[in-house]
Structure 1
Amino acid sequence: MKVKINRIAAKALKKMLAEENAEGKMFRIYVTSIHGDHAHYDLMMDTPTDNDEVVKTDKDIDFILDKNDENLDGIWIQYFQVPKEEWVITNPSKGSHHHHH
């Protein structure tokens, strides 16, 4: 499984991981809902289970993915500050639909 993350998202996520309540945790990417041909995604702090795969990125952040959910392979996490602050989690390999977080 693969996860891509843009530079500004990596910086924001690393800041969250540095907080005291995040010690020993990673970010889990998960499907919140599926509508027809596309899924909506979100992320939260969590710890891996036996059903998960820990995926390393080129930005030194590891993500937890449910290894049985094919909608998670190829996730792209982006964070934008302009025109407004927003998180965008997409899976280009599963269509162009995305979730603003």
Structure 2
Amino acid sequence: MKLKINRNAAKVLKEMLNSPEAEGKKIRVVITQNHGNHGHYDVILDTPAEHDEIVATDKDIDVLLDSREPLLDGVWIQYFHVPQPGFFITNPSTGFLEK
């Protein structure tokens, strides 16, 4: 599975990983709503599960992706400060929706 993270997102994700509640956890991308050919995505802190693939990124962040979910392959995690701060998670190969 593949995954990209922009610099702004990497900074915010590293802050999440350095929080007390992140001890022993990794970043996970989840699909909050599945519409067949695209999904709504979110990022959470979680521990690895049986069907997870741990994807290493060029930003030194390991991300958990459920290998059974094809909509997760190729996601791009971005973080923007304007018009309001927040993650914008897309999958260019399947369509996209923001967090």
Structure-1-length-normalised TM-score: 0.91
Aligned pairs for 1:40-79 (under 5 A) are 40-79=40-79
Which residue is 1:98 aligned to? 97
User: How big is each residue's C-alpha offset from its partner over 1:18-46, in whole Å with a ceiling of 9 and x where there is no partner?
Assistant: 11111111011111112253211111100
Q: CA deviation at 1:83?
A: 2.4
**How many residues of Structure 1 are paired with residues of Structure 2 in the alignment?**
99
Which residue identity lines up with residue 98 of structure 1 in the other structure?
A: L
Which residue is 1:88 aligned to? 88
Q: CA deviation at 1:9?
A: 0.6
Whole-angstrom distance in 2 between the partners of 1:98 and 1:73: 15
Which residue identity lines up with residue 5 of structure 2 in the other structure?
A: I
Deviating 4+ runs (over 6 angstroms): none
Structure-2-length-normalised TM-score: 0.93
Which residue identity lines up with residue 54 of structure 2 in the other structure?
A: V
Identity %: 56
* Distance change (3 Å), C-alpha of 1:72 and 1:36: closer
Q: Does the residue aligned with 2:83 lie in a helix, a strand or coil? A: coil
Which residue identity lines up with residue 12 of structure 1 in the other structure?
A: V
Q: Does the residue aligned with 1:78 lie in a helix, a strand or coil? A: strand
Whole-angstrom distance in 1 between the partners of 2:89 and 2:74: 11
User: Which runs of 5 or more residues in structure 1 are unaligned?
Assistant: none
User: Which runs of 5 or more residues in structure 2 are unaligned?
Assistant: none
